[in-house]
Structure 1
Amino acid sequence: MVKALMECNFEAVFECMPAPFLVMDRDFTIIAVNQAFLDSTMRARDVLMGVNVFVAFPAPEESRKLLQASLERARDKGIADVLPAVSHAVTINGRYEERLWNCTHIPVRDASGNVAYIIKSAQDISDLHPRGLAEIPSLGIEPRDSTAPLPGSVQVLNQSLLATVHHLRRLVMQAPSFMCVLRGPDLVFELVNIAFSMLAGGRDLIGKTLHEGLPETEGQDYPGILKGIFETGEVHVGRKMRILLQDAPDCEIEEHYIDFVAQPILGVNGEVTGIFIEGNDVTDHVKTEQRQSLLIRELHHRVRNTLATVQGVMNTTAKSSANIEDFQEAFSGRISSLAKTHAVMTEQLHQSVSFQQLLTQELGPYSDDHGLRIRLSGPAVDLPSQIAVPLGMAVHELTTNAVRHGALSREEGRIEVGWGLAEKDGERSLLCEWSEFGGPTVAPPSRDGFGSMLLKRVLSQQIRAEVKVDFAPEGFRLRMAVPLHIER
């Protein structure tokens, strides 16, 4: 049989083949054509031999670009290239006429393995297209009308398949959900859409293993989950799963939560060859739920504390009041102060209030136009609700006492409040000093009322504050140290 092949006249075989063929060198110069090609193009052999293919067969600009790109791919990459439908002119009855061709360009290698020639197979398919040349787009890839091809119209079927592939790829790449394809047991990224790339900080992942592309996932749950899918072939569904990723090359690792489905890609024999992952970044949703849960717990805690505070205020005010009118006035003022503190905190996103705001809402009404009667000085200090509520009531009691018995009971009286921050016993603390001047001579109270109880007991028990009071004859003094960290 080998001998028979050696004796075979391949030139004669080439010449008598029913399909049209043309052979070019690397410069696209025609060096051979068979009779079927001459018949289909209505050209003479001596007119074509030694002529560049684009000179021999002039084509519209877009068609020429397609043909040249296809020939260059076959020559430079050494692969067969197919053009499903491209416009090309032939001479019919002495005039040029545009016809539609299905072209295949096949590289032929020499003994060294380099591409030396290109074989062109060209089929005239003009009569197979349902609407003729006028309906073929210039690029010859995507038809304007997606009407189904005629039975047996292979080139239009190829055209439709290419259009479908391109369309599906665009859908995957632009999908709002993140998607990727991992291949092989080493989990190599084969496809990554835009959403997945953004989740991964815009890194170049194609061709890299999961460990190479996303090294920060090492030690987390996901590599084990994906390897388990590859080994078992079972689908995995994850809900609100925590993952740590680097959002950008120079950024720190950030916490994300994702919903995802990872399913195996099966080969022809049912073996797992890869994994397809699709999902959504639900970090914002999860963190919103966490904040809502925290706020609900905070609300329950504050309601319980507030009810206990109201009950304590009522009982103590009743004990220290001479009659129902005194009780009503004192209780109303204390509840009003408590309500104002809560109102201020409700307006703040982080459920806190500044210390200066607590002072201003109580002492502000007694200030003069020159700012001499009430002087407040200190840095900005935000107080969490657990500290702000008892401190707000303490400021209210100090102000009420000053109005009734202290500096604010006289026109020339004044109050100075200064505060700062310091480390006390390893904790960050608020240090505050309340000083009264120009009031009546001060004498220690004969009995402890609500204010004394609040300062001595409530502040020390609820917020671990250290309070020292001085009933100096020239004016009341109070010093207070309040730890800013509260343990629940």
Structure 2
Amino acid sequence: MLITNPHLPDNPIVFANPAFLKLTGYEADEVMGRNCRFLQGHGTDPAHVRAIKSAIAAEKPIDIDIINYKKSGEAFWNRLHISPVHNANGRLQHFVSSQLDVTLELSRLVELEKERKTLSIETARSKDQLDYIVEVANIGFWTREFYSGKMTCSAECRRIYGFTPDEPVHFDTILDLVVLEDRMTVVQKAHQAVTGEPYSIEYRIVTRLGETRWLETRAKALTGENPLVLGIVQDVTERKKAEANKALVSREIAHRFKNSMAMVQSIANQTLRNTYDPEQANRLFSERLRALSQAHDMLLKENWAGATIQQICATALAPFNSTFANRIHMSGPHLLVSDRVTVALSLAFYELATNAVKYGALSNEKGVINITWAIMEDKGEKKFHMRWAESRGPEVMQPARRGFGQRLLHSVLAEELKAKCDVEFAASGLLIDVLAPITPEVFPGMGHNVPEQRIA
């Protein structure tokens, strides 16, 4: 992670986190004050450099894979994301960028392509090898008389289409199985075969049992007085499902990455906007990024299915346990919330605890924090109730403006939970009460039995 200052000459680096230094092999004093172009080298594509310059000049975010170089001279593929950070007046303040080494990922794709080509060559060397591959790949063979449409099919071909071993097969018999949307394409390809050019087509059929399957056919005609079309057919339904799942996963990864970067940009914006001391800003930003990282680690363990309130509290408040473990109490039912709410609540709890150490219940020797949550009934409707209650600490007064933790709470409650949030700076300590409707998007685990209480 880097932060640069476009208001200084040559847009120099003003912050570099340890992960960047570990990735590139540089020390902090070797990168601070330099423009990021020192990572470029002879293998860097000039077109990629121009694209980055254009985005920076236009103050727009950019995602790009570019070849960069480590201090050792080793080249690596850098999946780079750059976002501008503007102040409340819309004026550009900084650029925030993240770097991810995807060299192994891209190298593996190249290796897979080489392996595919090698396999293709090897299968052509020997009929025995080809027959074996065909057998294990479940490939069916067929021939078709071009003008009559009569077909001869192998046993595997008959199995794929759902034909019995002895029934006669005609091109029209197969065409009747093809779904209507794909039928015209199949007919056109079949007629083009008379030119002698090979063709390949993927299409769907509905079997006699009513099951939809994806098939791939490759064919070539032996031209002459009575053209004969030779072809193979393979059931590629599972491959199509895998491709659809891969596309879904790719979209989900991109969505989560953008959400994470939006959260990082928000943290950077809030930190830089409200802190004028560079050292303090650096420390606060690093602490908040660490809290965000811990929330992401927790979600990864749960396969991004969300986390329970208990997990969120325990993870967010873990840094305070060594000193205040017996003064922070939490209780409530096993209640799962979505990944977006998990991240926001983790950051909010961490920030509120930090403020409690500085100004609230944890700033003296006897103050305590009680965090409780429950599913309650309010006017006949189930609702989520959560309370952050500080007591036995110094007398608190309402600050002139909201802190980062309170802003996070209000943001996530308003946007994600559709909740009502009451904040009271009582003489006994800070009180925060949250009341939110129950929705499956926010509380995906509400199918389980959860103890209820009634709001007094």
Higher RCO structure (Cα 8 Å, ≥6 apart): 2
Query: What is the TM-score with the length of structure 1 in the denominator?
Result: 0.47
Report the TM-score, using the length of structure 2 for normalisation: 0.49
